[in-house]
Structure 1
Protein backbone atom coordinates (compact mmCIF):
# COMPACT_ATOMS: atom_id res chain seq x y z
CA UNK A 1 0.00 0.00 0.00
CA UNK A 2 1.27 3.48 -0.85
CA UNK A 3 0.58 6.76 0.86
CA UNK A 4 -0.14 9.83 -1.27
CA UNK A 5 -0.18 13.42 -0.05
CA UNK A 6 -3.03 15.75 -0.95
CA UNK A 7 -1.98 19.29 -1.94
CA UNK A 8 -3.79 22.49 -0.95
CA UNK A 9 -5.49 22.33 -4.38
CA UNK A 10 -6.84 18.86 -3.59
CA UNK A 11 -4.47 17.13 -6.00
CA UNK A 12 -2.37 14.01 -5.60
CA UNK A 13 0.62 12.68 -7.50
CA UNK A 14 0.56 9.03 -8.49
CA UNK A 15 3.94 7.35 -8.32
CA UNK A 16 5.70 6.06 -11.46
CA UNK A 17 5.43 2.42 -10.42
CA UNK A 18 1.63 2.76 -10.16
CA UNK A 19 1.46 4.36 -13.62
CA UNK A 20 3.69 1.59 -14.99
CA UNK A 21 1.44 -1.03 -13.37
CA UNK A 22 -1.59 0.59 -15.05
CA UNK A 23 0.28 0.76 -18.35
CA UNK A 24 -0.28 4.50 -18.74
CA UNK A 25 2.10 7.13 -20.00
CA UNK A 26 1.99 10.93 -20.30
CA UNK A 27 -1.16 12.04 -22.08
CA UNK A 28 -3.11 8.85 -21.29
CA UNK A 29 -6.28 8.96 -19.21
CA UNK A 30 -7.08 7.17 -15.94
CA UNK A 31 -10.56 6.18 -14.82
CA UNK A 32 -11.45 6.65 -11.16
CA UNK A 33 -14.46 4.79 -9.74
CA UNK A 34 -15.92 5.59 -6.32
CA UNK A 35 -16.97 2.31 -4.69
CA UNK A 36 -19.92 2.29 -2.26
CA UNK A 37 -17.69 1.04 0.56
CA UNK A 38 -15.60 4.24 0.44
CA UNK A 39 -12.77 2.76 -1.62
CA UNK A 40 -11.55 4.11 -4.93
CA UNK A 41 -10.67 2.01 -7.98
CA UNK A 42 -8.15 3.32 -10.54
CA UNK A 43 -8.04 1.87 -14.06
CA UNK A 44 -6.30 2.82 -17.24
CA UNK A 45 -8.85 4.29 -19.64
CA UNK A 46 -9.15 2.60 -23.02
CA UNK A 47 -6.87 4.35 -25.48
CA UNK A 48 -8.27 5.80 -28.67
CA UNK A 49 -6.48 4.43 -31.69
CA UNK A 50 -5.62 6.47 -34.74
CA UNK A 51 -5.27 5.59 -38.39
CA UNK A 52 -5.65 2.01 -39.55
CA UNK A 53 -5.29 0.75 -35.95
CA UNK A 54 -8.66 2.34 -35.12
CA UNK A 55 -10.57 -0.37 -37.02
CA UNK A 56 -8.88 -3.44 -35.56
CA UNK A 57 -11.31 -5.41 -33.44
CA UNK A 58 -14.36 -3.20 -34.00
CA UNK A 59 -16.46 -6.14 -35.17
CA UNK A 60 -15.14 -8.62 -32.61
CA UNK A 61 -17.87 -10.37 -30.61
CA UNK A 62 -16.40 -12.69 -27.95
CA UNK A 63 -19.74 -14.57 -27.71
CA UNK A 64 -19.75 -15.50 -31.41
CA UNK A 65 -17.48 -17.93 -33.23
CA UNK A 66 -15.30 -16.37 -35.96
CA UNK A 67 -16.63 -16.56 -39.52
CA UNK A 68 -14.69 -18.86 -41.82
CA UNK A 69 -13.36 -17.85 -45.24
CA UNK A 70 -15.84 -20.30 -46.81
CA UNK A 71 -18.76 -18.63 -44.99
CA UNK A 72 -17.54 -15.19 -46.11
CA UNK A 73 -17.24 -16.37 -49.72
CA UNK A 74 -20.79 -17.83 -49.61
CA UNK A 75 -22.23 -14.55 -48.32
CA UNK A 76 -20.37 -12.62 -51.02
CA UNK A 77 -21.53 -15.04 -53.75
CA UNK A 78 -25.14 -14.88 -52.50
CA UNK A 79 -25.03 -11.08 -52.48
CA UNK A 80 -23.68 -10.94 -56.04
CA UNK A 81 -26.39 -13.39 -57.12
CA UNK A 82 -29.08 -11.20 -55.52
CA UNK A 83 -30.01 -13.84 -52.93
CA UNK A 84 -29.23 -11.61 -49.99
Structure 2
Protein backbone atom coordinates (compact mmCIF):
# COMPACT_ATOMS: atom_id res chain seq x y z
CA UNK A 1 0.00 0.00 0.00
CA UNK A 2 1.29 3.44 -0.87
CA UNK A 3 0.50 6.18 1.62
CA UNK A 4 0.29 9.79 0.58
CA UNK A 5 -0.20 12.56 3.10
CA UNK A 6 0.87 16.16 3.47
CA UNK A 7 2.71 18.03 6.19
CA UNK A 8 3.42 21.73 6.74
CA UNK A 9 6.93 23.13 7.00
CA UNK A 10 7.36 25.48 9.99
CA UNK A 11 9.37 28.70 9.98
CA UNK A 12 12.17 26.72 11.67
CA UNK A 13 12.28 24.19 8.81
CA UNK A 14 10.56 21.44 10.79
CA UNK A 15 7.73 19.11 9.86
CA UNK A 16 5.63 16.63 11.77
CA UNK A 17 5.63 13.23 10.10
CA UNK A 18 1.99 12.15 9.80
CA UNK A 19 0.87 9.38 12.14
CA UNK A 20 0.09 6.95 9.30
CA UNK A 21 3.67 7.24 8.01
CA UNK A 22 5.20 6.93 11.51
CA UNK A 23 3.17 3.79 12.11
CA UNK A 24 4.09 2.22 8.75
CA UNK A 25 7.81 2.92 9.37
CA UNK A 26 7.60 1.94 13.07
CA UNK A 27 9.03 5.33 14.03
CA UNK A 28 9.27 6.56 17.62
CA UNK A 29 10.49 9.74 19.29
CA UNK A 30 14.27 10.01 18.98
CA UNK A 31 14.53 7.80 15.89
CA UNK A 32 16.99 8.91 13.20
CA UNK A 33 15.98 9.35 9.55
CA UNK A 34 17.96 9.63 6.32
CA UNK A 35 16.76 11.95 3.55
CA UNK A 36 17.95 11.38 -0.02
CA UNK A 37 17.24 13.49 -3.08
CA UNK A 38 16.91 11.55 -6.34
CA UNK A 39 17.93 12.85 -9.77
CA UNK A 40 14.21 13.17 -10.57
CA UNK A 41 13.81 15.53 -7.60
CA UNK A 42 11.98 13.08 -5.35
CA UNK A 43 12.86 12.90 -1.68
CA UNK A 44 13.29 9.49 -0.06
CA UNK A 45 12.91 9.20 3.70
CA UNK A 46 14.31 6.09 5.35
CA UNK A 47 14.69 5.11 9.00
CA UNK A 48 18.32 4.63 9.98
CA UNK A 49 19.04 0.96 10.64
CA UNK A 50 19.71 0.29 14.26
CA UNK A 51 21.78 -2.22 16.12
CA UNK A 52 19.88 -4.97 17.91
CA UNK A 53 20.85 -3.68 21.37
CA UNK A 54 19.22 -0.30 20.56
CA UNK A 55 15.83 -1.88 19.82
CA UNK A 56 15.97 -4.78 22.26
CA UNK A 57 12.55 -5.28 23.82
CA UNK A 58 10.69 -2.91 21.49
CA UNK A 59 8.62 -5.70 19.98
CA UNK A 60 7.63 -7.21 23.31
CA UNK A 61 3.93 -6.94 24.12
CA UNK A 62 2.66 -6.66 27.72
CA UNK A 63 1.74 -10.08 29.06
CA UNK A 64 3.70 -11.89 26.37
CA UNK A 65 6.26 -14.34 27.77
CA UNK A 66 9.90 -13.76 26.84
CA UNK A 67 11.33 -16.24 24.33
CA UNK A 68 14.78 -17.78 24.32
CA UNK A 69 16.92 -17.37 21.19
CA UNK A 70 16.21 -21.03 20.33
CA UNK A 71 12.44 -20.45 20.60
CA UNK A 72 12.78 -17.36 18.41
CA UNK A 73 14.66 -19.39 15.78
CA UNK A 74 11.89 -22.00 15.72
CA UNK A 75 9.21 -19.29 15.34
CA UNK A 76 11.16 -17.61 12.54
CA UNK A 77 11.61 -20.88 10.65
CA UNK A 78 7.90 -21.69 11.04
CA UNK A 79 6.90 -18.30 9.67
CA UNK A 80 9.34 -18.65 6.76
CA UNK A 81 7.75 -22.01 5.87
CA UNK A 82 4.27 -20.42 5.93
CA UNK A 83 5.43 -17.56 3.71
CA UNK A 84 7.04 -19.93 1.20
CA UNK A 85 3.81 -21.81 0.56
Q: In which range does the TM-score fall when normalised by the shorter chain?
A: 0.5 to 0.7
How do 1:4-83 and structure 2 match up within 5 A?
Answer: 4-50=7-53
Deviations 1:38-82 (A, max 9, x none): 11011111012328x7xxxxxxxxxxxxxxxxxxxxxxxxxxxxx
Separation of aligned partners in 2, 1:35 and 1:44: 17
SS at match of 1:50: helix
Deviations 1:3-57 (A, max 9, x none): 1111111111101210111122122111111111111011111012328x7xxxx
Kindly report structure 1 stretches of 4+ aligned residues shifted beyond 2 Å. Answer: 48-51
* Structural RMSD (CA): 1.9
Query: TM-score by structure 1 length?
Result: 0.53
Query: TM-score by structure 2 length?
Result: 0.53
Q: What are structure 2's unaligned runs of at least 5 residues?
A: 57-85
